[in-house]
């Protein structure tokens, strides 16, 4: 099935000082921001298809949707963007593609305290601690925490305020078996802001900081996640993975919404007032088996492509901590190379 995969690693996120996923995704072609419902969620168009139902995966689990708050980047190790119809293999997703957010403990001890400051009163202190909990380093942890306050450039009384904490513990039971437990809590309060209105073929000629709702329009979201991931390598060819994820969300927004747009003849802007609250819980259980075969990628007439594909697969599996699968892919690349030298292809 046609597909293209692009990965945004942690180093790029740090180098660009990214605090919003939309800024990271500017590095990826074919991905544009879509309707964010007043700035209250992440939403994207991939290859022309609007991911209205939520085009996000987190560690392979469905994420996002209409009630999900903007994604926190503090604990992301990388962002994987799958472009093409292969995205439909991962659930109810649009054929344009999917975005997979990856979190995992660091392999080496790491301790970081950081402060970010910016325009309009932005203040964002954060911490990232990772290390071992025992002598043989088979039990590892990571803790991320962030507070963010942002005054914004619009004339709202309500400002952006976020609290985020995410602990994770990983247990390497043996060379072939690993268990990871992860939790996160996010509180997000921000203005509900639909932006400016169109007038004719352009934006209305009004100050950019003027709001068309009410100064106290706000969107409040509380989200809690609990997840486990279990992986066992049965042999050099077979690996099984099992995971469970629980998500709870409490959402409320109060706003004076635009209705019918601007009457250009009278200059009257119609509005209506809304007060909405919703609660949701999501449970997800996964069980997968992976099979690596030494000749799967060696397509007849294209052995060199098989080597390149195997090397790419090995790099991805290595970054995910799947050392057995990565070793199998490297051996596959070597087998194809040897086959070329022996004239088998």
Task: Tell me how far the alpha carbon of residue 70 is from its chain's centroid.
Answer: 10
Task: Tell me how far the alpha carbon of residue 50 is from its chain's centroid.
Answer: 16
CA pair distance 275, 32, nearest whole angstrom: 30
Based on the fold, state whether residues 188 and 305 are members of the same structural domain: no
- What tokens does 280 get? 């949701």
Amino acid 312: pLDDT: 67
Amino acid 294: pLDDT: 44
How many domains, the chain?
3
Based on the fold, state whether residues 160 and 265 are members of the same structural domain: yes
Based on the fold, state whether residues 216 and 140 are members of the same structural domain: yes
Based on the fold, state whether residues 120 and 83 are members of the same structural domain: no
Domain boundary among 102, 131, 162: 102
Based on the fold, state whether residues 305 and 246 are members of the same structural domain: no
Beta bridge partners of 33: 44
Beta bridge partners of 280: 249
- Tell the residue number behind the tokens 């909990």, with chain if given: 133
Residues 86-104 pLDDT 10s: 777 776 667 888 888 888 7
Based on the fold, state whether residues 59 and 146 are members of the same structural domain: no
Based on the fold, state whether residues 184 and 162 are members of the same structural domain: yes
Based on the fold, state whether residues 283 and 309 are members of the same structural domain: no
Amino acid 299: pLDDT: 42
Based on the fold, state whether residues 268 and 318 are members of the same structural domain: no
Asked if 126 contacts 76 with a C-beta cutoff of 8 angstroms, the reply is: no
Based on the fold, state whether residues 143 and 278 are members of the same structural domain: yes
CA pair distance 180, 274, nearest whole angstrom: 42
Asked if 166 contacts 137 with a C-beta cutoff of 8 angstroms, the reply is: no
Amino acid 244: pLDDT: 94
Question: Which among 164, 167, 168, 160 is positioned nearest to 145, based on CA atoms?
Answer: 164
Task: Tell me how far the alpha carbon of residue 267 is from its chain's centroid.
Answer: 41
Kindly give the parts of the chain with pLDDT less than 50: 294-301, 303
Amino acid 321: pLDDT: 56
Greatest Cα-to-Cα distance within the chain, rounded to the nearest angstrom: 82
* Torsion sign (Cα): 327, 58, 289, 297: negative
> Three-class SS of residue 180?
strand
CA pair distance 44, 71, nearest whole angstrom: 13
- State the angle between helix axes of 323-341 and 303-319 in degrees (0 to 180), rounded to the nearest 10: 160
- Residue 46: give the domain boundaries: 4-102
CA pair distance 22, 55, nearest whole angstrom: 13
Amino acid 181: pLDDT: 95
Amino acid 39: pLDDT: 74
Based on the fold, state whether residues 168 and 314 are members of the same structural domain: no
CA pair distance 275, 219, nearest whole angstrom: 10
Amino acid 164: pLDDT: 97
Q: What is the 3-state secondary structure (H, E, C) of 126-176?
A: EEEEEEECCCCCCEEEEEEEEEEEECCCCCCCCCEEEEEEEEEEEEEEECC
Q: Could you tell me which residues come within 8 angstroms of residue 338 by beta carbon, excluding any fewer than 6 positions away?
A: none
- Tell the residue number behind the tokens 């301790």, with chain if given: 111
Asked if 61 contacts 225 with a C-beta cutoff of 8 angstroms, the reply is: no
Amino acid 301: pLDDT: 47
Based on the fold, state whether residues 73 and 165 are members of the same structural domain: no
- Tell the residue number behind the tokens 């999501």, with chain if given: 282
């Amino acid at each position: 099935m046609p597909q293209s995969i692009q990965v945004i690693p942690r180093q790029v996120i740090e180098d660009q000082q990214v605090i919003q996923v939309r800024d990271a995704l500017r590095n990826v072609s074919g991905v544009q921001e879509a309707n964010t419902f007043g700035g209250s969620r992440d939403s994207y168009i991939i290859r022309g298809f609007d991911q209205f139902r939520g085009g996000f995966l987190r560690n392979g689990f469905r994420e996002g949707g209409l009630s999900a708050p903007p994604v926190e980047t503090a604990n992301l190790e990388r962002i994987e963007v799958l472009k093409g119809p292969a995205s439909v293999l991962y659930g109810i997703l649009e054929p344009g593609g999917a975005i997979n957010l990856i979190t995992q403990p660091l392999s080496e001890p790491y301790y970081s305290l950081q402060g970010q400051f910016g325009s309009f009163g932005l203040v964002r202190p954060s911490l990232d601690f990772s290390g071992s909990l025992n002598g043989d380093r088979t039990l590892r942890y990571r803790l991320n925490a962030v507070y963010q306050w942002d005054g914004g450039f619009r004339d709202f009384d309500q400002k952006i305020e976020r609290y985020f904490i995410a602990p994770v513990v990983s247990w390497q039971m043996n060379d072939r078996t690993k268990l990871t437990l992860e939790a996160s809590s996010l509180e997000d309060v921000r203005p509900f802001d639909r932006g400016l209105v169109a007038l004719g073929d352009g934006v209305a000629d009004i100050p950019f900081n003027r709001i068309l709702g009410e100064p106290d329009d706000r969107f409040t979201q509380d989200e809690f996640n609990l997840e486990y991931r279990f992986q066992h390598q049965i042999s050099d060819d077979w690996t099984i993975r099992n995971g469970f994820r629980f998500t709870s969300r409490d959402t409320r927004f109060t706003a004076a919404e635009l209705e019918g747009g601007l009457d250009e003849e009278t200059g009257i802007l119609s509005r209506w007032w809304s007060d909405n609250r919703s609660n949701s819980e999501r449970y997800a259980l996964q069980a997968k088996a992976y099979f690596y075969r030494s000749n799967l990628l060696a397509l007849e007439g294209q052995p060199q492509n098989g080597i390149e594909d195997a090397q790419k697969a090995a790099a991805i599996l290595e970054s995910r901590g799947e050392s057995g699968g990565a070793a199998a892919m490297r051996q596959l690349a070597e087998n194809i190379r040897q086959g070329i030298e022996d004239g088998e292809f």
